[in-house]
Amino acid sequence: MARKESNKNGKETSNAAVAAKVGYFARTSRPIYALMFLLPFIVLYEILVLVVNPELLSEPVSNVRGGVVAFVWIQNFLQYIGLDAKNSWLCAPLVIIGILLILQVTARQNWKIMWSDFAVMAIECIVISVPLIVLAMVLNRPAQQQPHQVACLLAAAKFSHHSFLMDIITGIGAGLYEELVFRLILIGLLMLFFETILGINKTKAIFLAIVISAVLFSLHHHFVFLNGRFARAETLTMAPFIFRTAAGVYFAAIFATRGFGIVAGSHIFYDIIATILNVLLFNQN
């Protein structure tokens, strides 16, 4: 009788383990899910740029607008290997697509997709973005008499003179390419350096990677590196710097637990919500 109960319990445990591997959170962390979830945003970003502001395709990278410095770094890389300004802009999405496909292949993970998961992923991203909106408001409480400072915190990588639609475009681009650079690439390289090269244990390596990537993510909104030199972007003030560092830690934790698709989607939805709030609450458009 005891053996039967043991077998039954063992079977139930095995079934639970199998369910965990194929459940929503396991499925949607795979690179193929990230690719398919973000593909509409990637296409929309390219189309909106072509329709709304096509001159950006031929502008020199020193004239980067809206804080999408990470995108310009990808563009610079493509120009370095021989593409012109227009083609480097149009081919930048291939970097995201190529990396995610390589990760999917090398991880030898299941390619099967449940299309109904994408609606849930969108809701999850919106929910994840809400704490950052709240944090922006909390950090700005001492300066309630200056609503433009709230707008500055909410619109993490934007300039207030842009049009509403340009801010939406900027938000999509920032969500895609900042997460590519500061989470997918930078954290991966930092983990390789700390854990594999220096031999630091995994827990400490993750902690160091998250903190360093978060600080660099925050600083790059204030001091940009373009054309081989640093330049000042936004004035460095404490509230935006603390907020963006906290956001960097938050996004890094989401990336570590939920993967690239969810963290990039959360960043995109945060930027879109922040843009809408700036217009509705502070008339920043």
pLDDT in tens, 173-193: 889 999 999 999 999 999 999
Report CA-CA distances (Å) from 57 to 67, 87, 139, 267, 285. Answer: 16, 8, 37, 24, 23
Who contacts 121 (Cβ-Cβ below 8 Å, separation ≥6)? Answer: 28, 33, 37, 261, 262, 265
Distances in Å between the Cα of 13 and the Cα atoms of 6, 16, 24, 25, 249 are 10, 5, 18, 18, 34
- Domain residues for the domain of 80 are 15-282
Residues 50-54: what's their mean pLDDT? 73
The string of pLDDT tens digits covering residues 104-141 is 999 888 899 999 999 999 999 999 999 998 888 777 65
| 226 bridge partner residues | 229
pLDDT at 27: 94
CA distances from 78 to 83, 86, 174, 226 (A): 6, 11, 18, 14
CA 122 to CA 105: how far, in whole Å? 25
Residue 8 lies in a domain: no
Q: Is residue 3 part of a domain?
A: no
Rounded mean pLDDT, 39-55: 84
pLDDT of residue 224 exceeding 70, the answer is yes
- Residue 5 belongs to some domain of the structure: no
> What whole-number percentage of the chain has pLDDT above 90?
45
pLDDT above 70 coverage of the chain, percent: 75
What pLDDT digit, counting tens, does each position of 73-92 carry?
888 888 888 887 777 877 88
The pLDDT of residue 150 is 41
Q: Is residue 229 part of a domain?
A: yes
Domain contains 10: no
Number of domains in the chain: 1
229: three-class secondary structure by DSSP: strand
CA dist 86 and 155 (Å) reads 27
Alpha-carbon gap, residue 231 to 46, rounded angstroms:
27
| Residue 4 resides in a domain | no
Residue 57 lies in a domain: yes
- Is 9 among the domain residues? no
